[in-house]
Amino acid sequence: MWKEHDEIRDLKLHNLIENYESMDFGDFKKELGETATSLSSLLSSHIFKENNILFPTALRLVTEQEWTEALEDFDEIGYCCFTPTHLITKPKVKIEEPKAEAPTSEGLLQFETGTLSKEEAEAILNTLPVDITFVDAEDTVRYFNKAEGRIFVRTKSVIGRKVQMCHPQKSVHIVNKILDSFRSGKKDVAEFWIQMGERLVHIRYFAVRDKDGRYLGTLEVTQDLTDIKKIEGEKRLLDWKE
């Protein structure tokens, strides 16, 4: 189904419509007819599979708890084209807990270069101006941060899933090659950059190793470079104003 979504996007009907004025009318008419025919065939087949295979199977296999979690995820990331207000989950009533005392050394995460509480560590990771996702040595998604305005939306349902299941089928073999090269020690970094509309997005994968060089997993770091590329000259600390 994911592959068919890619195929539908690859038809690029919107590009054809936007550029019709620069085309010969005969060529435009021919391309429009071919694109519309392909799109009609793909959509008919896709919707049939959704209605007769995907949705009935989901209704049989997905538990009530999983539907509730999916609804909460959709409420968080948004819906396609519209937000059905009657489906939005009601906010949970937060029970006021007694104020926690300052964490003792036993409640802190001990690092070589300092200590942090779990709350501080999580806040720091979420404040980073990049999306990060960690995949462990068994190729299982273990963690992602919740940076403001994430480029690639993540929901908690990906936790515990094999990373190969989080990529389109056409790119899984590349994902496996990167992971294998990290695991073997042949490579430590893989990077790519793509254009998303008017934004330039930089995607990097880093092999995560312990002090002895043992492979622990892979860190994906995604950053929007659009505004960074515009930087010129200097802006020093003393130039800062409220």
> Are residue 69 and residue 149 in the same domain, yes or no?
no
The residue from 28, 58, 86 where one domain ends is 86
CA angle 79, 220, 230 (to 5 degrees): 80
What residues have CB less than 8 Å from 80, skipping those under 6 apart?
none
Per-residue confidence (pLDDT) for residue 79, from 0 to 100: 75
Write out the residue range of the structural domain in which residue 81 sits: 2-86
Is there a domain that residue 82 lies in?
A: yes
- The model's confidence at residue 90, banded by pLDDT at 50, 70 and 90, is low
Interatomic CA distance for residues 160 and 69, integer angstroms: 15
End-to-end CA distance of the chain: 50
CB 217 within 8 A of CB 162: no
Interatomic CA distance for residues 187 and 179, integer angstroms: 9
> Are residue 140 and residue 76 in the same domain, yes or no?
no
> Are residue 79 and residue 133 in the same domain, yes or no?
no
Strands (E), the chain: 109-111, 114-116, 131-136, 141-144, 189-196, 199-209, 215-224
148-158 confidence digits (pLDDT tens): 888 988 888 88
- The model's confidence at residue 98, banded by pLDDT at 50, 70 and 90, is low
Q: What is the DSSP letter of 229?
A: G
Per-residue confidence (pLDDT) for residue 7, from 0 to 100: 81
The chain-wide mean pLDDT, for the chain, equals: 87
CATH number at residue 79: 1.20.120.520
> Are residue 71 and residue 156 in the same domain, yes or no?
no
Residue bearing tokens 């999916």 = 70
Query: Among the ranges 18-22, 102-106, 203-207, which has the highest mean pLDDT value?
Result: 203-207
- The model's confidence at residue 72, banded by pLDDT at 50, 70 and 90, is confident
Per-residue confidence (pLDDT) for residue 88, from 0 to 100: 62
> Are residue 135 and residue 208 in the same domain, yes or no?
yes
> Are residue 26 and residue 82 in the same domain, yes or no?
yes
Model confidence at 80: pLDDT above 80: no
CATH number at residue 159: 3.30.450.20
CB 131 within 8 A of CB 120: no
Is there a domain that residue 97 lies in?
A: no
Is there a domain that residue 143 lies in?
A: yes
Residues of the chain above pLDDT 90, percent? 48
> Are residue 156 and residue 215 in the same domain, yes or no?
yes
Is there a domain that residue 159 lies in?
A: yes
Is there a domain that residue 91 lies in?
A: no
Is there a domain that residue 113 lies in?
A: no
Interatomic CA distance for residues 128 and 126, integer angstroms: 6
Count of domains forming the chain: 2
Interatomic CA distance for residues 190 and 182, integer angstroms: 9
- The model's confidence at residue 224, banded by pLDDT at 50, 70 and 90, is very high
Per-residue confidence (pLDDT) for residue 1, from 0 to 100: 81
The pTM of the whole model exceeds 0.85: no
Is there a domain that residue 241 lies in?
A: no
Is there a domain that residue 165 lies in?
A: yes
Per-residue confidence (pLDDT) for residue 222, from 0 to 100: 96
> Are residue 80 and residue 143 in the same domain, yes or no?
no
Per-residue confidence (pLDDT) for residue 103, from 0 to 100: 56
Model confidence at 93: pLDDT above 80: no
Model confidence at 64: pLDDT above 60: yes
What residues have CB less than 8 Å from 242, skipping those under 6 apart?
none
The residue from 65, 86, 107 where one domain ends is 86
Which is more confidently placed, 66 or 209? 209
Between 99-113, 121-135, 227-241, the lowest mean confidence (pLDDT) is in 99-113
The residue from 31, 55, 86 where one domain ends is 86
> Are residue 53 and residue 138 in the same domain, yes or no?
no
Model confidence at 200: pLDDT above 90: yes
> Are residue 133 and residue 226 in the same domain, yes or no?
yes
CB atoms within 10 A of CB 222: 19
Per-residue confidence (pLDDT) for residue 180, from 0 to 100: 96
Interatomic CA distance for residues 194 and 130, integer angstroms: 15
Among residues 174, 182, 168, the alpha carbon closest in space to that of 134 is found at: 182
